[in-house]
Amino acid sequence: MPPGRSASRGARAVALEDLTGIRRRVRLRRPQRVTLHSWSFHQLGAFITYKAKRAGVPVVCVDPAHSSRECAECSYTHKANRISQASFICQGCGVACHADRNASRVLARRGQNVWNAGRKSHVPPDNL
């Protein structure tokens, strides 16, 4: 979703990372681990889902695997694309942008693919 554009007014759907099981999959440094396990981290996802449902906006949950390493432009995926926490430079096509913006575009496209394929979206339970 472009900055400054609300899902209820513009975009057709919201794509959320399906973080079910992320605690088992990912090894993180301590500060991030604290964030990952905090109530607010899960509460945010539940809140977005709640607000989207109220606004009649579909929520599609997607697999976030390697989304921070995949180029939103050319789909080239490599660890070296993510040069720092904030910076993304594709080793395939050379595009450079903020790492979070790139990852959000990758997730949006995955959400679109799930939606277009008519596949069932797995929405995490409210009690995460």
The residues of the shown chain that bind Zn ion, judged by CB under 5 A, are 71, 73-74, 76, 90, 92-93
Residue placing its CB nearer to Zn ion in the complex, 41 or 76 = 76
Residue placing its CB nearer to Zn ion in the complex, 44 or 93 = 93
- Please, what is the minimum distance in Å from the beta carbon of residue 88 to Zn ion? 9
**Separation CA 65–CA 76 (nearest Å):** 14
Residue placing its CB nearer to Zn ion in the complex, 8 or 75 = 75
Intra-chain end-to-end CA distance of the chain, in Å: 25
- Please, what is the minimum distance in Å from the beta carbon of residue 120 to Zn ion? 30
- Please, what is the minimum distance in Å from the beta carbon of residue 90 to Zn ion? 3
